[in-house]
Every structure is written in C-alpha cells, then in structure tokens.
C-alpha cells in the first residue's frame, strides 16, 4: 500500500498542477469579465479539485520519508487559520466558505507532497506540467477560434491576443512566462533535455498573449538571476542582505516622499488609468474597514453582496479582482491579516533565498525566479490566497523548492536520496552532463 502511494501521489500532484495551470474553462467565449460576476465554479470544477487534492493528500501522507522540515510552512498555516477565522465576519459566507475550503485543500496538497517527495521529483513534475500546458496552448491557438481573444470580447484591447486553453490572456501569459523561467533554470543546470526548445516555445506563446506584466517581469528576471548570483558571491550573504535592505529602504522613502506625483503619473498612463481608479475605490473601502476587511473570499464575485458594487461601476465591478494582490489582501483580511500574509508570502521566502545556506543550485534558482515573479506579478494582478489561480501554484512551488534547498545539500545529494525514499531508479539519474 505504501509503495503504491508513491506513483499515485505523483500522478495526482501532476494532475492538480496541470488543472490549476490550464484552468477549468477552456475556450470560454468572451473574456474573464463575462465570468467575473458568477458566484462560483460548477459542480464539475469542484469535483475535479476535490478529487485531485484528496488523492494528493492521502497518497502523500502514506509515502515514506521527509525531504525537509515542515516548520518553514508554519507562517502559511497561520495565514490560512486567520482566513478561516475571518469567515466569522464574512460579508457572504455562502461564497467565502467554498473558496476557503479550496485554497486550504490546494495549499495543503501541494505542500504535503513537497514535504514528502524529493525536490528533484517535484521540479521534474512541475516542468512536465508546464510543458503539457504549453503544448496545449500552442495547439489550441492553431486549431480553436476561441483560443484567441476576438471581436466578441468586451475589451477591444484584448482583440488578437492569445489565451490558449486559459480564460484570459493574463493567465496565459503568466503560465508561459513561468514555464520559460523553469526551463531556463533546468537548462542552465543541465537537468533534462530539450529545455532550450521548450523555453523558446514558451516565449513565443508568451509574446503572443501580449500580457505586458508577465513579459516585462520574465525578460527582467533572467539577468536579475545572474546578477544576484554574481553579486551575492562577491559580497557574501550578509553584505548582499544589507545591500538589498538599503535599496528597499530607498525605494520606500521615494514612494513616500513622491507619492502624489507618482499617483498622478499612474493615473495619466493609459496602461494604469483604469487600475488607479479601481485602486482608489479599494483604498476608500480600506479606510473604513482597516482591521477586519470583508472577510476572506467575500469582496469579489458575491453577487448583490459584493462590496465593490457600492464603490465604483463599469469595468471595476466586472473585473472580479482588484488587480493588486496586496490591496486585495487588505480589503479582505484587514491590516492584521495583510501583515501576516506579507510575512508568510514575501518576507520569509525572500529572506530564505537571500540567506540560503548551500551553494547555488537549480532549486534555489527556480525558487528565486518563481517567488520574485509572483510577488511582482501581484502588483498588477491578484493571485495571493487564490487556490485556482496559476500564479498561486507557481508561488507555492517556488516557496516549497526554496524550503527544500535551504535544508538539504547539493542537487546531486537530492538525486541520490530520491531512490532511497521512493525506490525509483530514474530519480537517481546524475544531474551533470545532461541538457
């Protein structure tokens, strides 16, 4: 039974990853704004998530071994507990409760699998999921009309953008960008084959989505990854941490001292204008509800109970999110919940990456690009604590691999332990010398 749990856990993790990355509404007509007013998913969607998460949790618990200490997950567990407590003052419990159940099951399934599974296996399965979704996206663009935003879309700026099997180009762009990053890291560390080809195909699809946020972050992250490695090697961990802290303080002071001018520039920008109007509405709600917020999962897509209906109109009430994960967290969980979330999903992972104990390897590189990608992406889109959002999956995999890398040795050590823990020869394949 225990031996059979290993392949079941791996298949269910792969299935869950693919499900989240691809979404459950392929080729939906219109765009995400059409779906944003819906109160929730269908029974089929709920069944798919329940089956994948339950299998992953059950099979993972039966597997032997532990690849890293799970104490690093305590902050995330506390955030989920706080989300559960916030249901007590939820604006719409009937909508919030299923969303809380979903994000809890998804998070627990992902992390219990990563705790019990060698990180090399996690990396390979995640890369396989990205590859499958990427091929499905490219094939659908060639064969399916609704894989491209067309003239029926509500927003004329979307016309011609690729979305593949996803509900919107921004989801498609984020998945393609993260796929390109993981294939780059695997190529650089000589893990697996065809990584350059897979990276190139992912970049082609990413460009086709015209998702500006994902494209800009992806293009900037590769040189940033190399710059981080070079700079951290020269300054050492303490010096690099000091430099990062100094730059962060300068950035915060700049934002504080020049806040009005920056806001005016954003409001005048064609790319930011609609978002700044929405952000202003959210800021107004926060000023009146700074401590508790609306409760987890209760602000958006709750029909007539949605607080956004009394704050703005037009595009703002159809979007289904605040287009800023940090603002949305304050809106739903209040300032206390936001600070807890900020520590669990931003401060702790970044500190772990900046002060990683071992030398640079594929796990620290993937963790770095995934975590930083998601944190920057949430400046313009919302995915934090959204269990069915692909960017949330990317963030969880990044945090999990970072935890594994901080508690273990080199990638070759991980590979050597794979066979002992899982009993599968292919996991013990040497990393060096492969492309």
What is residue 391's predicted lDDT score, i.e. its pLDDT? 96
Annotate 61-83 with b (16+ C-beta within 10 A) or e (fewer). Answer: ebbeeebbebebbebbeebbebb
Query: Is residue 425 very low, low, confident or very high in pLDDT (cuts 50, 70, 90)?
Result: very low
Residue 1 burial (10 A CB sphere; 0-12, 13-18, 19+): exposed
pLDDT band (50, 70, 90) for residue 205:
very high
CA distance linking residue 188 with residue 63, whole number of Å: 31
Residue 280 backbone phi and psi in degrees, to 5: -65, -40
CA dihedral 44→8→403→218, nearest 10 degrees, is -50
The full 3-state SS of 358-405, as one line of letters, equals CCCCHHHHHHHHHHHHHHHHCCCCCCCCCCCCHHHHHHHHHHHHHHHH
Q: Which of 235-239, 263-267, 283-287, 400-404 has the lowest mean pLDDT?
A: 263-267
**Does the pLDDT value for residue 195 go beyond 80?**
yes
- Average of pLDDT values for 117-143? 95
Burial of 359 (0-12, 13-18, 19+ CB in 10 A): exposed
Degrees, nearest 5: CA angle 336-338-340: 70
Give the distance from CA 111 to its chain's centroid: 14
Q: Cα separations (Å) of 127 from 198, 202, 418, 427?
A: 10, 12, 17, 15
* Mean pLDDT of the 407-434 span: 42
CA 48 to each of CA 20, 42, 59, 105, 314: distance values in angstroms, whole numbers, following the listed order? 10, 10, 17, 12, 33
With 0-12 / 13-18 / 19 or more C-beta atoms within 10 angstroms meaning exposed / middle / buried, residue 59 is buried
Residue 39 has pLDDT above 80, yes or no: no
The torsion region of residue 41 among left (phi > 0), alpha (psi -120 to 50) and beta comes to: beta
For CA atoms 138, 142, 144, 149, the dihedral sign is: positive
The mean pLDDT of 188-215, rounded to a whole number, is 93
- Global pTM reads 0.86
Identify the band that residue 310 occupies on the pLDDT scale cut at 50, 70 and 90: confident
Say if CB 159 and CB 199 are below 8 A apart. no
Strand partners of residue 162: 148
Q: Is the pLDDT of residue 411 over 60?
A: no
- Tens digit of each residue's pLDDT (9 = 90 or more) over 320-341: 888 899 999 999 999 999 999 9
DSSP character at residue 192: S
Residue 214, pLDDT > 80, answer yes
Map tokens 């007509």 to a residue. 29
pLDDT of residue 354: 76
> What string of DSSP letters covers 56-80?
HHHHHHHS---SS-GGGGHHHHHHH
Distance between CA atoms of residues 200 and 128, nearest Å: 15
Closest of 239, 254, 316 to residue 37, by C-alpha? 316
Buried b (16+ CB within 10 A) or exposed e, 98-134: ebbbbbbbbbbbbbbbbbbbbbbbbbbbbbebbbebb
What pLDDT, on a 0 to 100 scale, did the predictor assign at position 236?
A: 63
> Model confidence over 55-91: pLDDT tens digits?
999 999 888 766 556 677 889 999 999 999 999 999 8
* Residue-level pLDDT at 359: 65
Angle between helices 74-86 and 93-116 (to 10 degrees): 170
- Asked if residue 283 has pLDDT above 80, the reply is yes
Q: What is the pLDDT of residue 173?
A: 96
> What would the two tokens of residue 261 be?
């001018």
């Amino acid at each position: 039974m225990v031996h059979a749990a290993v392949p079941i856990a791996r298949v269910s993790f792969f299935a869950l990853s693919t499900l989240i990355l691809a979404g459950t509404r392929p080729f939906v007509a219109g765009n995400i704004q059409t779906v944003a007013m819906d109160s929730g998913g269908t029974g089929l969607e709920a069944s798919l998530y329940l089956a994948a998460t339950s299998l992953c949790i059950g099979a993972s618990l039966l597997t032997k071994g532990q690849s890293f200490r799970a104490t690093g997950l305590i902050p995330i567990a506390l955030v989920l507990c706080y989300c559960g407590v916030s249901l007590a003052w939820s604006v719409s419990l009937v909508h919030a409760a299923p969303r809380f159940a979903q994000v809890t099951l998804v998070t627990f399934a992902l992390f219990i699998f990563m705790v019990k599974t060698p990180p090399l296996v996690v990396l390979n399965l995640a890369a396989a999921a990205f590859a499958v979704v990427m091929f499905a996206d490219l094939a659908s663009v060639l064969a399916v009309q609704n894989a491209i935003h067309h003239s029926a879309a509500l927003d004329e700026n979307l016309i011609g953008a690729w979305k593949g099997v996803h509900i919107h180009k921004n989801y498609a762009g984020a998945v393609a960008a993260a796929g390109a990053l993981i294939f780059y890291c695997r190529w650089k560390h000589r893990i697996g084959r065809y990584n350059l080809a897979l990276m190139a195909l992912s970049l082609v699809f990413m460009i086709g989505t015209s998702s500006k946020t994902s494209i800009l972050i992806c293009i900037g992250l590769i040189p940033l990854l190399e710059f981080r490695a070079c700079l951290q090697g020269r300054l050492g961990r303490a010096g690099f941490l000091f430099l990062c802290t100094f730059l962060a303080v300068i950035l915060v002071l700049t934002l504080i001292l020049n806040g009005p001018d920056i806001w005016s520039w954003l409001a005048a920008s064609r790319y930011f204008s609609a978002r700044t109007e929405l952000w202003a509405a959210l800021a107004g709600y926060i000023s009146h509800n700074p401590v508790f917020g609306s409760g987890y999962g209760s602000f958006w897509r709750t029909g007539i109970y949605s607080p956004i209906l009394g704050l703005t109109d037009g595009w703002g009430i159809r979007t289904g999110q605040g287009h800023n994960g940090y603002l949305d967290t304050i809106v739903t969980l209040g300032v206390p919940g936001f600070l807890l979330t900020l520590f669990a999903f931003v401060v702790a992972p970044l500190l772990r990456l900046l002060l990683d104990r071992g030398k640079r390897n594929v796990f620290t590189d993937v963790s770095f690009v995934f975590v930083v990608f998601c944190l920057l992406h949430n400046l313009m889109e919302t995915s934090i604590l959204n269990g069915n959002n692909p960017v949330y999956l990317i963030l969880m995999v990044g945090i999990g691999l970072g935890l594994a890398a901080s508690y273990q040795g080199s990638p070759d050590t991980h590979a050597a332990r794979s066979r002992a823990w899982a009993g599968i020869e292919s996991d013990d394949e040497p990393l060096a010398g492969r492309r």
